[in-house]
Structure formats: structure tokens, C-alpha cells
Amino acid sequence: MRVIEGGVCAALGFTANGVHCGIRKNHSKKDLSLIFSSVPASAAAVYTTNLVKGAPITVTKKHIADGYAQAVICNSGNANTCNANGIEIAEAMAELVAKELSIKASDVIVASTGVIGQPLSIEPIAEGLPALAAGLSAEGGKAAAEGIMTTDTVMKEVAVEFTVGGKSCRIGGIAKGSGMIHPNMATMLVFLTTDCAIAPDMLQKALSGDIANTFNMISVDGDTSTNDMVSILANGLAGNAIITAEGEDFTAFMKALNTVTIALCRKIAGDGEGATKLLECKVSGAADLATAKTVAKSVICSSLLKAAMFGADANWGRVLCAIGYSGANVDVNKVDVSFKSKAGIITVCKNGAGVEFSEEFAKQVLLEKEIEILVGLNSGEAEATAWGCDLTYDYVKINGDYRT
């Protein structure tokens, strides 16, 4: 398996594009994206656990109930959530795409992201779609990635090439996510594409299984969005024997999918609103997987620890504190904690108690852009990883007047 260029257009048969249609006031920012498969594709998706859900999620669930789709339309700048005519608007978006691409409206995945509770007009979308569709190309992945961004500061895309049944396959994805990021389903939009042939039920199984250890292990600010969605289209153009059951081919597909999703997780967490550092908490030696995941997420969600990481302060007591209130059954007298970065690794806690360490070296370790928080529970063999970011002054600045 190797990393390649192309994002959602890396796989055979996929084209994409992104344009500014007028939803966002800033004309320099794209606000409408389209992804298209030249043939109908197996489709799967997972959604937010928030009881308040955006209208596009309701429409998408209905559209891919048969396990197939051919296009994805997504706007930014407006979440189309808590609107009286939200379903009508989301369905209209699908109809417009269907008309332009000569496909069925029921084969369109619909997504929206932006401000909640603000009416969304179909007019700018209708006006922008002809140019959006006409501009679809195999080089359009970056434009599509730009069109789904809100407070994101960097575009997020990745793709890999792998082998299934002797056939070369590709899987790629784009993502948006910066604020309102918290399990479960972590707040984001992620669109994945692959030319691997896989049955809809196995595709759903692969995606649902993967997110439990990837997107559900991210937290930026503790808020779960109303519009989270991770979707995947698999059009089968790689020509491999279709995956219909678990086995060697399914394992190879899962490994490639996981490589792409972890890369996107790191990009999302590192681009948290106002963030200056990517935090990665690795828990080892847990009695079971559930314990490892609970501890990792609790540490990464701690506002006090996140603030300490911003200040490059090796305040390891905040790690122990987060473990203690996590609800996990942990022997705190066995816990070890270390901080690691490109500058080196420093142990700050052994067997639940502090050890002598150089504050100067600790500062050097924590001043790096990517920090690993290593937690050893010394009670078993299970391990888990969670991703987050530091908590900075800019997070409040960004969200203090987000709507206005």
C-alpha cells in the first residue's frame, strides 16, 4: 500500500469540483462541492448521534437505503438544520444534481455544513450547479475539498493505492472539521471514494467498524454537531472480484480504509479551531479495549490538559485527573505517563506518582506541533488512540461571533 495524490478523484471513475455559488458572503471561498461516479456505486454512511439532525441526513438516509448512490452534493456556510423547509431544500438539491448529471435523485447523497437555524435558499445552489457540474474533472478533488470547509484553515484530503485479489485498487477522501468536534461520530463531514468492488452490506460493515476506532476517537471541543456524516462510494471499476464476505480481500480493504481515515483524523484534530498543536493520546496496557478507549478519550477531552499543552506545561496531574473521572476501572497506582514529540520523550509519572524530570526539557518536548501523550495502565494488553488539539485563546475568538 502506498500514499498517492488525488483525494476523492484518485479512484477510477470519480470526478469532482467546487465553486462559489453565493451561499457564503465571502466570494473568495467556495461553498458548493460535487463528487460524481461515472457508474452507480455501492454506498454506505454513518451519521451524528445528536438528536437534532440536519435535514440532509434525513434525505441521505432515505436515498441510500437501497445501498447505492452515484453522486454527493455538499454546501458550506449553512447547515440546513432546524429549518421548516429543510427536507424540501435538501431534496431539491438532489433533484438539481440529478438533472445536471442525468441520474436519479435517489442516487444523490446530500450534505450541508455551517450555521444552524438559518434559512437556506435553493436559488444560489440552482444557479451554481450548472457550472459546478460542467467543471467536474479528475483533477477536481482539491476544489471539492475547499468547497466543504467552514472554519477549517487547511484543506484535508488523502488517498492510497492497495491490492485486492491481485487487482490494484484506490481509496481516497476529503474531510472538513475544525469546531464542534466530539465523539461519538465526531463532528465532521467526510466523503470517501474507492474503485474497489464491494457489496453494500460489506461496505457498511467496513465503515461502521472503522469509525469506532478512528472518527469516534477525535475531540476538539466537546460539542457534537447536528450534521456529522461519513459516507463512502465504491464503484467497482478496479475490476476485483466483488467482496461479499469477510476474508483476505475484506481485510485488505479494511486496512486501506483505516489508513485513509486515520490520516483524516489527524488532519481534523490538528486543525481544531484556534489550535496550534495536534495531541495524540496513546493508551497501552489496558485490561480491555473499552477501558483503553475510555481513558484515551477522557484525556484528550480534558480542557485543563488541552490548556496545559497550549502553554507547553508538563502538568501531568491533569492526565491522572482525567483518567480518574473517566469512569474506567483503572488501578491508578499502576499508571505511567510520558510526553513525546520530535524533541524527544520525557517520563513524568510512574506507578501513579510523580518522578523527577527536567522542566526545561519538558518544555522543549511540549513546544512542538505534534505531541504524544503516552499512558501505560500496566493491567493488560489492550490499547487505543485518541486525537485532539490544544485549547487556545483563539478558540473563544472564533466562536464568540461565529454566526454574526
Q: Which residues are catalytic?
A: 187
**What is the CB neighbour count within 10 angstroms for residue 154?**
10
**What is the CB neighbour count within 10 angstroms for residue 210?**
21
Q: How far apart are CA 273 and CA 267, in angstroms?
A: 12
Report the candidate in 223, 273, 268, 224 with the shortest Cα–Cα distance to residue 402.
Answer: 273
Q: How far apart are CA 280 and CA 300, in angstroms?
A: 8
Q: How far apart are CA 47 and CA 228, in angstroms?
A: 6
**What is the CB neighbour count within 10 angstroms for residue 205?**
17
* Element of type H or E holding 175: strand 167-176
- Rounded to whole angstroms, the maximal C-alpha distance in the chain is 68
Identify whether the C-beta of residue 217 lies closer than 8 Å to the C-beta of residue 262. Answer: no
Report the candidate in 146, 151, 220, 145 with the shortest Cα–Cα distance to residue 186.
Answer: 220
Residue 248 CB-density burial (10 A; 0-12 exposed, 13-18 middle, 19+ buried): exposed
Cα Rg of the chain (Å, integer) = 22
Please enumerate in sequence order all residues whose Cβ is within 8 A of that of 205, keeping only pairs 6 or more positions apart, or say none.
none
Beta bridge partners of 345: 340
Total residues found in the chain within this entry = 404
Q: Can you say how many angstroms the Cα of residue 320 is from the centroid of all Cα atoms in its chain?
A: 28
